[in-house]
Amino acid sequence: MLHTPFDNFNFGNKTCYLSGEPLESAEQKTEVFPLWLQNRFALQDKPFRHLNEKYTTYGKLKVPVSPGLQQEVLDLFEAKIETAFTSGYNAVKELTEQEIFYWFGKIMYGIIFNEIQIALLEKPAGEPLSF
């Protein structure tokens, strides 16, 4: 079954942002921008500006993720992407369009997830969220 948090605006930290699986702890999170990318481009402490004009850092952008999904899928996938990017242009060309799309989509969805969390926290109680 496909997890669609937009149906009921379930953008909390108690469910995995990708699978919808309940989490044991709100501390089970992963970086939106993978650590290898942050390290390679010294992004961890660089400012990241949200849509509400407030700042955080790339290193603080995180999303809730289930440990199983993290270990069995995301870590392996991210290792493949990292290997390609650190190996050079020809290795990146070997990645499929679908792999690049999924990797980029994972990052973009993480950003959107964070933006929606902020919007939900800032809206007055009882007011609908509008975009």
For residues 36 and 120, which has the higher predicted lDDT (pLDDT)?
36
38 neighbors 59 (Cβ within 8 angstroms): yes
Residue 30 has pLDDT above 80, yes or no: yes
> Strands 62-64 and 29-31: what pairing?
antiparallel
Q: What is the DSSP letter of 12?
A: S
pLDDT tens digits for 41-97? 999 999 999 999 999 999 999 999 999 999 999 999 999 999 999 999 999 999 999
User: CA–CA separation, 131 vs 51, rounded Å?
Assistant: 11
pTM of structure: 0.88
Instruction: List the structure tokens of 64.
Output: 């809730």
User: CA–CA separation, 68 vs 45, rounded Å?
Assistant: 28
pLDDT tens digits for 54-63? 999 999 999 9
User: CA–CA separation, 19 vs 12, rounded Å?
Assistant: 13
